[in-house]
Amino acid sequence: MNKIARDISPALTAEETRRYGRQLVLDQIGPDGQEKLKSAHVLVIGSGGLGSPVLLYLAAAGIGHLGIVDFDIVDITNLHRQVLFGDADLDCSKARSAAARLQAQNPHLAVTTHETRIDAGNAGELIAGYDVVVDATDNFAARYVINDACVRAGIPNVSASILRFDAQIAVFDPARGGPCYRCVFPAPPPAGLAPSCAEAGVVGVLPGIAGTLQANEVIKLICEIGTPLIGRLLSFDALETRFRNFEIARNPGCIACGAKADPNRPLGLAEAEPACAFETPVAEISVEKLAAAIAEGTQPFLLDVRGAAEREIARIAGSQGIALDMLEAEADSLPRDQPILCICHKGARSLKAARALTELGFTQVASLTGGVDAWAERIDPSLKRY
Amino acid sequence: MSIVIELPTTLRPFASGEAQVALNDHASFNEALGSLIARHPRLKSRLVTGSGTVYDFVSVFVNDRRVGPDEFPEITLDDGDVVTLVPAMAGG
Ligand SMILES: [Zn+2]
């Protein structure tokens, strides 16, 4: 029995019949399918790049009840891909801004907002009562929690992820015989081997493509039509415009969905791995200290580890560019007899770079705290911020 | 006569930018992996753990079908086989 009140009458009104007419006439959907959509409860976790198209299309298609989980607020750097939001939403709650936009789009829609971060403690409760869960999150911790909670509750997880120009989409649903996320990716990458979208970048239209594919899978699952993306991992390469279907299967030994899965295992990733425990400590210096060193003529070798496109937007004068992922390949070109200061956008990649150089035997390496962004904010306001 | 290993975008910078690496056929999966790393040593730390097994966040597909780590020793790659490495990604 679902916890969420099923108080919407599934029968379509005359207005709804007109509104959804173009999809109602499809034999595969028809009035029955449309009533199933109206009765459906779909939880979308993350209302960012992927969540925006998922929510917009599901609201338009006549899903009766949408839940939105997002703790975040709208930032200007979100707007190139998070098409639910505009300038008027800056600094506002994503979940609430999304709910207002969706209800303006379709007054028949009921929305529940959860302004919280999904974690092992609340996941079971958040997803309870929903027919389908959509994973539109942007981090591994959430992905493993959502997977484990959905497996345990027997709810299909319509999942997508994106990076740079690549996307992956799959429906994880052991209850229908398919694998779960852990069957395919038993563990996340160790810290340092997986760039985030903030560091690696993402082309704005990519979550639009992946998110609309997720919305399509949700509609298929609810209407019970077509062949769901279960047992397949769909990959999309936006640069080559190439889709590929990979065959994926249940792993009998999977700790989430396998025969011997422990029903009491805590959801998500074990907390045993503090992100930085084994990482080489790195010296950090502030932008003020760098400005003083430059004024005195004692500045270190300035190594900008961002990509060429970012360097074109704003850079510290005199810095040399080697993108982080090329650093090891080109480390031989760096001076060994001079201090090296690694610089990036906000100070995360430069820490990784400084660590990598230290591990390669460079002895005088530091990272610029706050990166070019702090430099533009506090030292040189003529630089553009992004 | 050869097999091909397809590398994900994220690993190409560590393989001289190559998207595909052609290797001799009639190799076991583990031999092919060894040849790949011998040719592009900088892939090693990003692809295999300290004990030499492929990281759990990299799914391995042979001719588009996923193979689990238990199957690696039994796989023989024949002419025309395509091995694709697909890493987990988390962006949203
Ligand atoms: Zn599983």
Check: CB of residue A344 under 8 Å from CB of residue A305: yes
Take residue A127 and report the two structure tokens written for it. Answer: 């997803």
Q: What is the pTM of this model?
A: 0.82
Question: Considering only CB atoms, which chain A residues are within 8 Å of B9?
Answer: 163-166, 237
Matching residue, tokens 């996923």? B66
Among A96, A24, A36, A7, residue whose Cα is nearest residue A222: A36
Distance B76 CA to ligand 1 centre (A): 26
For residue range B23-80, list pLDDT tens digits in order: 987 788 999 999 999 999 989 988 998 888 899 999 999 999 999 988 988 899 999 9
CB–CB of A197 and B91 under 8 A?
yes
Question: Considering only CB atoms, which chain B residues are within 8 Å of A330?
Answer: none
Output b/e per residue, A338-353; b: 16+ Cβ within 10 A. Answer: ebbbbbbbebbbbbbb
Please tell me the predicted confidence (pLDDT) of residue A337: 87
Output b/e per residue, A53-63; b: 16+ Cβ within 10 A. Answer: bbbbbbbbbbb
Of the candidates A164, A185, A247, which has its C-beta nearest B57's C-beta? A185
Q: How far apart are CA B20 and CA B7, in angstroms?
A: 6
Question: pLDDT means per 10 residues in chain A (386 residues)?
Answer: 55 95 96 97 98 98 98 96 97 97 97 97 97 97 98 98 95 97 95 69 94 98 98 96 97 95 93 46 88 92 95 95 89 91 94 87 91 95 94
CB–CB of A328 and B46 under 8 A?
no
CB–CB of B90 and A138 under 8 A?
yes
Of the candidates B9, B65, B90, which has its C-beta nearest A161's C-beta? B90
Q: Is the ipTM of this complex over 0.85?
A: yes
- Beta pairing, strands A166-172 & A157-163: antiparallel
Of the candidates A161, A166, A235, which has its C-beta nearest B92's C-beta? A161
If DSSP codes are grouped into helix, strand and coil, which group holds residue A311?
helix
CB–CB of B13 and A164 under 8 A?
no
